[in-house]
Amino acid sequence: MLTYKDAQKFYDAFGEKQDRQFYEESAIIDLITHGNFAEAKNIVEFGCGTGNLASRLLNDVLPADCYYTGVDISPTMVELCREKLRRFPDRAKCLQSKGQPILNITSQSADRFISTYVLDLLSGEDITILLNEAYRVLMPGGYLCLAGLTHGASATSRLVVLVWRGIYRIRPSLVGGCRPLKITGYLKTDQWHILRDKVIESYAVPSEVLIARKV
């Protein structure tokens, strides 16, 4: 597991390379397709990286009155995100966080909470804290929209996951600190109604797309 300091250092150095993670694309498209973003008014993204998803949403999907807030631990990512969202000065902001996934965002103010390929690098304890924060920040009926590495579904993807886990065990930074996990295992059933839970394989790398409505 990467410490907060390690994660910040890694992603500061990784920067724009994050946008070349080709295996993420199919899951991101699925998330955009099923997240009902055309009706969103206020989006929060945790671990926004370079702002790639935010920029796609703001340019192509979101209504003109929808506001976006991104949060990331890496100053480099925050700068890249701000640069990408410069066209939307009144609708988008990106904030740097310190590590613990506690958000300086008003309770019940958002209708979408997004996080892609971030939970898989947090500790189990931080995943629980983050999901509680998502629950707090979302208004009733708001959507939790998550994607991340998961367990393999086919023989090939199971093999890829086996190798991935082996590398992670030796040195987590070689795989960006990410390890495959099942997000639904962390959801409290009295808080969330699952609308979509799908495993999507791309280049034999399995990703879980999870969309849940706050009860």
Which residues are at the interface with ligand SAM (CB under 6 A)?
4, 7, 11, 18, 24, 47-49, 52, 71-74, 77, 97, 99, 101, 116-118, 121, 176
In the bound state with ligand SAM, the residue whose beta carbon lies nearer, of 77 and 210, is: 77
Between residues 118 and 190, which has the closer beta carbon with respect to ligand SAM? Answer: 118
Least separation in angstroms between CB 45 and ligand SAM: 7
Per DSSP, the three-state class of 178 is coil
Place of tokens 């991104």: 70
Q: Torsion-angle region of residue 203: left (phi > 0), alpha (psi -120 to 50) or beta?
A: left
Beta carbons within 8 Å of 122's beta carbon, 6+ residues apart: 101, 130
Nearer to ligand SAM, 103 or 212 (CB): 103
For ligand SAM, give the closer residue by CB, 3 or 215.
Answer: 3
Residue least distant from ligand SAM (Cβ): 49
3-state secondary structure of 95: strand
CB of 64 to ligand SAM, least distance (A): 24
Closer of 124 and 141 to ligand SAM (Cβ): 124
At its nearest, how many Å lie between ligand SAM and the CB of residue 175? Answer: 10
CA–CA separation, 118 and 34 (whole Å): 19
CB of 2 to ligand SAM, least distance (A): 7
Give the ranges where 35-171 is alpha helix by DSSP (H): 52-56, 75-84, 124-137, 155-170
What's the min distance (Å) between Cβ of 215 and ligand SAM? 25
Could you identify the residue written with the tokens 């579904």?
153
CA distance 179 to 164: 7
Task: Report yes or no: 64 and 92 within 8 Å, Cβ to Cβ.
Answer: no
Q: Which is nearer to ligand SAM, 45 or 201 (CB)?
A: 45
CB of 140 to ligand SAM, least distance (A): 25
